[in-house]
Amino acid sequence: MKCILPVSVICLGLICSSGAEEPAPAEVKPAPETFFFLGDSITKAGGYVRAIQSELVKQNPTNPPQIHNFGHMSETVSGLSEAYHPGRRPCVLNWVDAVFAEKPNWVIVCYGINDGIYHPFSAERFAAYQAGIETLIKKADAVGARLIILTPPPFASAGPPFPPDTDAKTQETLLAKANAEADAEAQADPKKFGYRSAYPYYDRVLARYCEWLLTLDGKSGVSVVDIRTPMLTRIKETHNGDPIHPNGRGHAIMAETFLKEWPAIQAKSKAP
């Protein structure tokens, strides 16, 4: 005698059999993290950017980050320009909104070497630099990007040495006098100082900019990486004849310093 199964049982068997043969859904990869680098000709040269990219790809080979270098020759964040510069220096604030509209995960900026326009220190020029950096911080925060600020590299010329055995306080007095005299010269002759004829103690100007940048670390989600100090300790290695642009070793030290800080920056970004 034949056993005839109900149609409902047959259909259930077909459904179960069909379900068992379906492949498991493919795992969906998260979108790769995006890193945008902004800066002047040092960033545009790309040495430190490429070194950082190489290491970040090694750390995540299955889903490597997307790295974009937006460095521009002669650029500033302050909007300032010396009198004899061939055309006014470009300012990142004039075009960066288009970049932030892409909503990158990370923005790494390195400005300052051009922002003092190779002049003696002045409160007005310093305020323009501070305002530019603060604007970048607000723009990054508005799109949810994590901002990392690299201090500018040193200007690889220390200026005339002070007399032997001059203590720190006397050095500051002498430096203030030299700065005031140079500022008066610049007022009388706007073409006195610039990238071809830098104020002899210009690196001291950058030191003040860097000191201020370091006070921003941890504020408004900002991380600041001090690349100046490790480069200063090896200044004979980091530049060739050009005091503005680091050589390959200088770029390597910039990248090494960033990567040393990177795990802590990542951890901070994931903290509740």
DSSP string over 142-176: HTTPEEEEEPPPP-S---SPPPTT--HHHHHHHHH
pLDDT for residue 24 is more than 90: no
Buried b (16+ CB within 10 A) or exposed e, 68-86: ebbbbebbbbbbbbbeebe
Residue 13's pLDDT band, with cuts at 50, 70 and 90, is: very low
What is the pLDDT averaged over residues 160-174?
91
How much is the pLDDT for 50? 98
Residue 131 has pLDDT above 60, yes or no: yes
Q: What is the pLDDT of residue 3?
A: 44
pLDDT in tens, 228-260: 999 999 999 999 999 999 999 999 999 999 999
Q: Are 255 and 266 in contact (CB under 8 A)?
A: no
What does DSSP say about strands 106-110 and 66-69: parallel, antiparallel, or unpaired? Answer: unpaired
pLDDT of 18 higher than 90: no
pLDDT bin (cut points 50, 70, 90) of residue 223 is: very high
Of 26-30, 79-83, 164-168, give the range with the top mean pLDDT: 79-83
* H or E segment to which residue 20 belongs: helix 7-21
Q: Residue 55 forms beta bridges with which residues?
A: none
With 0-12 / 13-18 / 19 or more C-beta atoms within 10 angstroms meaning exposed / middle / buried, residue 264 is: exposed
User: Side chain identity at 73, as an amino acid letter?
Assistant: M
Mean pLDDT of the 177-185 span: 96
DSSP string computed for 62-83: TSPPEEEE---TT-BSS----T
Helix segments in 83-227, DSSP class H: 96-100, 123-142, 168-188, 202-214
| Residues 152-177, mean pLDDT to the nearest whole number | 93
Beta carbons of 157 and 124 less than 8 angstroms apart: no
User: Average pLDDT of 154-179?
Assistant: 93
30-53 average pLDDT score:
97
Rg (CA), the chain: 27
CB crowding 229-245: b at 16 or more within 10 Å, else e: eebeeebeebbeeebbb
Dump pLDDT digits (tens) for 133-149. 999 999 999 999 999 99
Q: What is the pLDDT of residue 81?
A: 98
Tell me the pLDDT tens digit for each residue of 256-269: 999 999 999 999 88
Confidence of residue 28 (pLDDT cuts 50, 70, 90): confident
Q: Is 216 exposed, middle or buried (0-12, 13-18, 19+ CB in 10 A)?
A: middle
Percent of the chain with pLDDT over 90: 84
Per-residue pLDDT, 203:
98
